[in-house]
């Protein structure tokens, strides 16, 4: 719109000035023609009365604006120009245009003989100088406004088409990111946006095909576990009905359930796992810890490990599905039983503070030499897959938490899983603001600073000491 307005002004102003100049030149040309009529009369006679009658007879409606100065019997008509301008013109051989009140005067010297000149004056009022100019300006302004309005409308239509195509592409990309694999766009708009739409459709088809292939592969690999599981179940049925046999059969049943869940999850459409109808998106961390410790307590008893649970009597709601939190705990506890000597003590504690729930798993083993490497996916020093702690980290991050690995008070590793409290509400800020905070007791301020960490890891260590 701004560009169109500038172009319109660039044409409007010069055209307006040209119209004004043409109107001035037209008025001067009319005055020159009237002067020629009077000059023809003066060539015949210089009698004022005869000249006046001739002007009145041949001058038309503008005869009253014509005057002749320097005749024998005086002047004819009304003088508008100054006397000195008339005198100066009579001594020249060319016409003169001079400004007078209300317009212009066109002065033409005429040789009337006897070495003297008469001066013919034609008064041009200001209305004649601008006749038709205002109408032309109005017409040009209307044309310029029409051009601006038309360009705005056309630009709006073009911009709406471009913006609509861009918004459609952005909405489709957002939908694809949210797991809608069947979303596609209708290529439209400029050539570049249309090509981007075609590329997006091709990418979406490729992503859908790759995910389907990957899910089928995971489902097939998971299904292949059923054969050794079936053999293990048959062998377990032959064992005596003692604690060891019951535990093995229970473990095989749990493994079969996990394999079935893996196959079902692999065959779910979409990019993200969608909870089944009725499945809760949160759980009680204390309850899950109690349940998993009951399962692992039998193994701890066989290995003569001291296994304790702290802080599991009070509820600790977290926004994590029960199955995922149980899998993360099994990964941590399995690492303890797998990589620490038999007889090393084990302790699991749950604490709830400042909007977070901390689950601390501590053992009396050799500890973890490189905590940063242990948290990287696929990194391990023990020949395993290196996915256990990565599962724990993903569960923590899904609940806006963190994982911290340090040396515990029992001498071994201390892994703190920090999860957001499912029922925590932010405290209401004090209406006294900074002054109110300064008015607290100094000991209270020191205690709060000690508890508050700079990041999730420091908060985890604070929960570890609870």
What pLDDT, in 10s, does the model give residues 281-323?
A: 789 999 999 998 888 887 888 888 888 899 999 999 999 988 8
Residue scoring higher pLDDT (451 or 333): 333
> In what order do the strands lie in the sheet containing 307-310?
307-310, 346-353, 356-363, 413-420, 402-407
User: Please, what is the end-to-end C-alpha distance for the chain in angstroms?
Assistant: 67
Look-up of token digits 């007791």: 441
Residue 240: pLDDT band (50, 70, 90) is low
Q: Which helix (H) or strand (E) holds 386?
A: none
Instruction: Assess whether pLDDT exceeds 70 at residue 458.
Output: no
Signed CA dihedral, 114, 115, 120, 121: sign only? negative
Q: What are phi and psi of 310, to 5 degrees?
A: -120, 140
pLDDT on residue 263: 65
Q: Helix (H, G, I), strand (E, B), or coil: what is residue 123?
A: strand
CA distance 31 to 105: 9
Integer-rounded Cα Rg, in Å, for the chain is: 51
Residue 384: pLDDT band (50, 70, 90) is very low
**322 with 279: CB under 8 angstroms?**
no
Residue scoring higher pLDDT (341 or 239): 341
For 180-200, write each residue's pLDDT tens digit. 888 898 888 888 888 998 999
Query: Residue 271's closest CA among 206, 204, 203, 177?
Result: 177
pLDDT on residue 387: 60
Residue scoring higher pLDDT (272 or 341): 341
For 442-455, write each residue's pLDDT tens digit. 555 555 554 454 34
Delimit the domains of the chain by residue range. Answer: 2-131, 135-222, 284-464
Indicate the fold that domain 284-464 takes in CATH.
Heat Shock Protein 90 (3.30.565)
Q: Helix (H, G, I), strand (E, B), or coil: what is residue 271?
A: coil
Look-up of token digits 């300064």: 438
Please state, rounded to an integer, the average pLDDT across all residues of the chain. Answer: 77
Q: Which helix (H) or strand (E) holds 152?
A: helix 133-177
pLDDT on residue 199: 93
Q: Helix (H, G, I), strand (E, B), or coil: what is residue 359?
A: strand
Instruction: Assess whether pLDDT exceeds 50 at residue 277.
Output: no
- Tell me the percentage of the chain whose pLDDT exceeds 70: 73
Q: Helix (H, G, I), strand (E, B), or coil: what is residue 305?
A: coil
**375 with 404: CB under 8 angstroms?**
no
* 27 class by beta-carbon count within 10 Å (0-12 exposed, 13-18 middle, 19+ buried): buried
Other CB atoms within 10 A of residue 332 CB: 22
Look-up of token digits 């649970």: 309
pLDDT on residue 462: 36
Question: What CATH number matches the domain at 2-131, 3.30.750, 3.30.450, 1.20.1410, 3.30.70?
Answer: 3.30.450
């Amino acid at each position: 719109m701004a560009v169109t307005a500038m172009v319109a002004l660039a044409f409007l102003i010069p055209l307006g000035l040209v119209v004004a100049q043409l109107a001035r030149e037209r008025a001067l040309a009319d005055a020159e023609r009237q002067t020629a009529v009077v000059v023809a009369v003066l060539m015949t006679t210089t009698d004022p009365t005869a000249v006046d009658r001739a002007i009145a007879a041949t001058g038309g409606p503008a005869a009253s604006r014509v005057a002749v100065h320097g005749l024998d019997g005086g002047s004819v008509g009304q003088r508008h120009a100054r006397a000195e301008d008339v005198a100066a013109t009579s001594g020249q051989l060319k016409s003169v245009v001079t400004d007078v009140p209300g317009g212009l005067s066109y002065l033409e010297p005429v040789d009337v003989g006897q070495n003297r000149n008469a001066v013919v004056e034609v008064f041009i009022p200001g209305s004649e100088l601008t006749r038709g100019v205002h109408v032309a300006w109005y017409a040009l302004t209307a044309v310029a406004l029409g051009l601006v309005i038309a360009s705005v409308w056309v630009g709006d239509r073009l911009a709406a088409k471009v913006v609509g195509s861009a918004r459609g592409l952005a909405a489709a990309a957002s939908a694809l990111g949210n797991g809608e694999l069947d979303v596609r766009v209708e290529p439209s708009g400029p050539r570049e946006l249309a090509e981007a739409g075609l590329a997006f459709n091709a990418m979406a088809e490729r992503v859908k095909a790759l995910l389907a292939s990957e899910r089928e592969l995971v489902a097939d690999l998971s299904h292949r576990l059923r054969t050794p599981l079936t053999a293990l179940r048959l062998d377990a049925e032959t064992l005596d009905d003692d604690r060891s046999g019951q535990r093995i059969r229970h473990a095989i049943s749990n493994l079969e359930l996990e394999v079935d869940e893996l196959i079902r999850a692999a065959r779910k459409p979409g990019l993200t796992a969608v909870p089944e109808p009725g499945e809760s998106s949160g759980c009680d961390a204390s309850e899950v810890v109690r349940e998993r410790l009951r399962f692992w307590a039998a193994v701890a008893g066989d290995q003569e490990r001291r296994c304790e649970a702290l802080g599991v009597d009070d509820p600790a709601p977290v926004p994590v599905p029960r199955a995922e939190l149980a899998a993360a705990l099994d990964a941590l506890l399995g690492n303890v039983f797998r990589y620490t000597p038999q007889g090393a003590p084990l302790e699991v504690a749950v604490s709830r503070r400042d909007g977070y729930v901390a689950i601390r798993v501590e053992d009396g083993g050799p500890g973890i030499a490189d905590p940063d490497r242990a948290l990287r996916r696929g990194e391990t020093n023990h020949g395993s897959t290196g996915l256990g702690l990565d599962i724990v980290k993903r569960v923590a991050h899904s609940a806006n938490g963190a994982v911290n690995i340090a040396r515990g008070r029992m001498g071994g590793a201390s892994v703190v899983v920090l999860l957001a409290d499912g029922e925590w509400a932010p405290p209401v800020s004090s209406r006294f603001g900074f002054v109110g905070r300064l008015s607290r007791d100094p000991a209270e301020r020191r205690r709060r600073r000690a508890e508050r960490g700079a990041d999730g890891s420091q908060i985890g260590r604070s929960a570890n000491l609870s």
